[in-house]
Structure 1
Amino acid sequence: MTTLWDTTGSAVVKELAAQRRTGGAVLSGVALTLVVVADESRVAEAEEAATHAAEMHPCRVLIVVRRQIDAPVPRLDAEVQIGGRLGPGEAVVMRMYGRLALHAESVVLPLLAADAPVVTWWHGVPPERIATDALGALADRRITDSSLTEDPTATLRRRAEDYAPGDSDLAWTRSTAWRAVLASTLDSVSGRRSDAVRVQGGRIEGDPANATAQLLAGWISSRCGCAADVVEGSRNPGPSGVEAVGLRLDQDEQLEVRADHRGGAVISQPYRPDSTLALPERSLGDLLSEELRRLDPDEPYSEALEAATGLHGLSDRAPVREHVWFDPAAPEGAPPRRRSGGRATSADAVTS
């Protein structure tokens, strides 16, 4: 690892190339560039998750830490490494001070792997509008986490209003295990075919303010064409915000999946004894790795987000964005400025 203090973007590019020549690294094995945006307090978590994801998906990891935006003098400190603590591939950790932090793309763009998709992940509170962050406008996939905000329900609404195909949410990824269990359980109800089982209503017990619980209810509503409500549970639901899911089926049948808080779940279904299966809480690295498995738009997520927020037509929007310049130091009420450039433009930003 090489640490560059008070450096420049050009020096970072040169150091990365020098380390690649010295170590004999082969860039052709890189499948994508993962851009991680994190606060200093969350850098350790972000690095651990990105390292796990890089082991599963060969990628160049670029971690951007915006520090002291109000610092009088712009400065860049960078750690450059290949095959180090951040996984087997190439990684750069950049800490930006002053106004440079508002123009992080000027340092990141030359470091993107050529002809490889770009995924941007915000490990922290996401921007109100992704188009105001150039690191989101240049990405093919954009990953946020509504669960990290003070009001996840309101954040889901903002994510729906700002949605463009290619957006995703780790709050949605946390529901994967629940969705898999429910789908497989419906396949085995009383020996009936899954297409012969009709779900007439759903109930999610847990935290009504949790984004994962709301998205799981939206998924049931969008897939089954029925109402699914989130009600207050009786115990601590854990990070997923879900304690149990009950489905009301046709033929006056009930199906329930309830977490047992020992890393498993108890399944109760008609005409069969209760059964158990694994339902462990997943690490942040596992969630991020799942999101990197596919780079096309996640249509089930957009449908669940529509049902959870009441907004429609999300998947019909343009999948690219135009960067909208936003200066947090500008006077309140000052209009944003749009600028061309980057890897993508967006029709929804032009009309917003």
Structure 2
Amino acid sequence: MIITLTDTTSSQVASRLVVVREEGGVVALGRVLTLVVLARGRENVERAIAVTNVASREHPSRVIVINTGECGDDDGLDAEIRVGGDAGASEVVVLHPRGAAVADQDTLVTPLLLPDTPIVAFWVGATPGNPSAEPVGRMAQRRITDLISAITDTESSHAARESFAALARNYRPGDTDLSWARITTWRALIAAELDLTHTDLTSIDVHGAPDRPSMYLLGGWLRSRLGVPVHVHESSRIHITELALNFADGPVRFLRPEGSSVATIRRPGQPDQRTNLPPRTDTDCLMEELRRLDADETYASALAHAVRSL
């Protein structure tokens, strides 16, 4: 069910939400957090809602989506309340601020926050260079960016790297980017390989797109954990397609062609081994990041080392 409110206020939206819950027999006691999504434009609003609806099955939340991409000339606020099948296991409030209201994001969401629950901020379609300095970012215990969603088709790889460098420069405990969760399966695969008996590791090569932070984060994680040279090689592919662990007796290579969900592990003098390594969805990544609300020190270390490859 979708209820549309025009020329309203956040307090009026909150009051209407209480009425809707009471009429539907729904309580907010099972909500574990308030997820505030800042999405640029209606396309990103709907994309964010689709992702959070699925993620809410694991993390029941109150989701507040602010459309930051359609300012308008007059000051005001339109809103939608989505419950039931249109909101997954959450209740979703969509705010469409106009004019000066766009800048007052913290004021907009305050009447709608669940009491005594953590606040998580999630940016879709635009990534601030300093998330913790943003109005909603200052309120949140956890700040999740999605740099890939902010990269346009016309944006250069240099601009993408500059945005990534800004996130590293302005990092504060509680920050993370979905690119970190996108390489979780890669990190698990590499860790399993390093548990096997090998000669000394001398260096590592990573191949991926120059405008994708996942490649740099993976390189930064390896450099921070293993203390060996990590060489990042730019390619025209979207995802990480190849990684080589260079041991004294020869390289162990992980190959995943673009568009494939299967990786080939190639070891010296052994038959090739195939293993599942599908690209992760935005929903998978968001659910993973919502499982922890404290500072991710491993991500912080990987981020600090990753910028050395830019």
Q: Distance in 1 between matches of 2:10 and 2:234?
A: 50
Q: 2:275: which partner in 1?
A: 277
What is the Cα deviation at residue 270 of structure 1?
Answer: 4.2
Contact 1:175 1:216 in 2 (8 A): yes
Is 1:42 the counterpart of 2:44? The answer is: yes
For the 8 Å contact 1:120–1:143, the answer to whether it is kept is: yes
Q: Report if aligned partners of 2:39, 2:69 keep a CA contact under 8 Å in 1.
A: no
Q: Distance in 1 between matches of 2:121 and 2:8?
A: 23
1:206 aligns with 2:214: no
**Counterpart residue number, 1:59:** 61
Whether 2:231 is the aligned partner of 1:229: answer yes
Instruction: Report the equivalent of 1:170.
Output: 178
Equivalent-residue separation in structure 1 for 2:12 and 2:69 (angstroms) = 20
What is the rounded CA distance, in whole Å, between the counterparts of 1:56 and 1:222 in structure 2?
A: 31
After TM superposition, the runs of 4+ consecutive aligned structure 1 residues lying more than 4 A away are: none
State the partner residue of 1:180: 188
CA contact (8 A) 1:120 1:142 kept: yes
Residue 344 of structure 1 corresponds to none
Residue by residue over 1:83-116, the C-alpha shift from the partner in whole angstroms, topping out at 9 and shown as x without a partner, is 2312122110111100001002112011111111
Q: Is the 8 A contact 1:204 1:246 kept in 2?
A: yes
Specify the SS of the correspondent of 1:113.
coil
Question: Is structure 2 residue 116 aligned with structure 1 residue 118?
Answer: no
SS at match of 2:18: helix
1:223, CA displacement in angstroms? 0.8
Go from structure 1 to structure 2 and tell me whether the alpha carbon gap of 1:296 and 1:132 turns closer, same or farther (over 3 Å shift): closer
Cα displacement (A) at 1:198:
4.5
What is residue 291 of structure 1 aligned with on the other side?
Answer: 289
- Relative to structure 1, the CA distance from residue 24 to residue 208 in structure 2 (aligned partners, 3 Å threshold; closer, same or farther) is same
Residues 156 and 305, structure 1, Cα contact 8 Å, conserved in 2: no
C-alpha distance in structure 2 between counterparts of 1:14 and 1:81, whole Å? 14
Partner Cα distance (1:280, 1:139) in 2: 31
Contact 1:256–1:268 (CA under 8 A) maintained in structure 2: yes
1:154 aligned to 159, 162, 167, which one?
A: 162
Query: 3-state SS of the aligned residue for 2:95?
Result: strand
Corresponding residue SS for 1:69: coil
Q: Which amino acid aligns with 2:190?
A: L
TM-score, with length taken from structure 1: 0.80
Question: Contact 1:35/1:64 (CA < 8 Å) preserved in 2?
Answer: yes
- Equivalent in the alignment of 1:257: 254
What amino acid does structure 2 have at the position aligned with 1:110? P
Deviations 1:268-302 (A, max 9, x none): 12453211111112221121111111111111111
Identity %: 36
* Structure 2 Cα separation of the partners of residues 15 and 254 of structure 1: 62
User: Which residue identity lines up with residue 301 of structure 2 in the other structure?
Assistant: E
2:241/2:255 contact within 8 Å kept: yes
Taking the aligned partners of 1:146 and 1:198, their CA distance within structure 2 comes to 35
Letter in 1 for 2:220: G
* Conserved 8 A contact 1:52-1:285: yes
Which amino acid is the alignment partner of residue 45 of structure 2?
V
Q: CA deviation at 1:206?
A: 2.0
1:133-159 CA-to-partner distances (Å, cap 9, x unmatched) read 211110000011222333221112101
Unaligned regions of 5+ residues in structure 1, if any? 312-352
CA distance in 1, matches of 2:211, 2:108: 38
Shift of 1:252: 2.1
Superposed CA RMSD in Å reads: 1.9
Residues 34 and 197 of structure 1, relative CA distance in 2, 3 Å threshold: farther
SS in 1 for 2:45: helix
- Alignment-mate amino acid for residue 23 of structure 1: G
The gaps in structure 2 that reach 5 residues or longer are: none
Query: 1:143 and 1:198 mapped to 2: Cα distance?
Result: 37
Equivalent in the alignment of 1:302:
300
Q: Distance in 2 between matches of 1:89 and 1:70?
A: 29
Q: CA deviation at 1:227?
A: 1.4
In 2, distance between residues paired with 1:105 and 1:208?
A: 35
Calculate the TM-score normalised by the size of structure 2: 0.91
The Cα offsets for residues 219-269 of structure 1, whole Å up to 9 and x where unpaired, read as 110110111111134xx533x3x11000112x4232111103421100112
Distance 1:248 1:262 in 2: 24
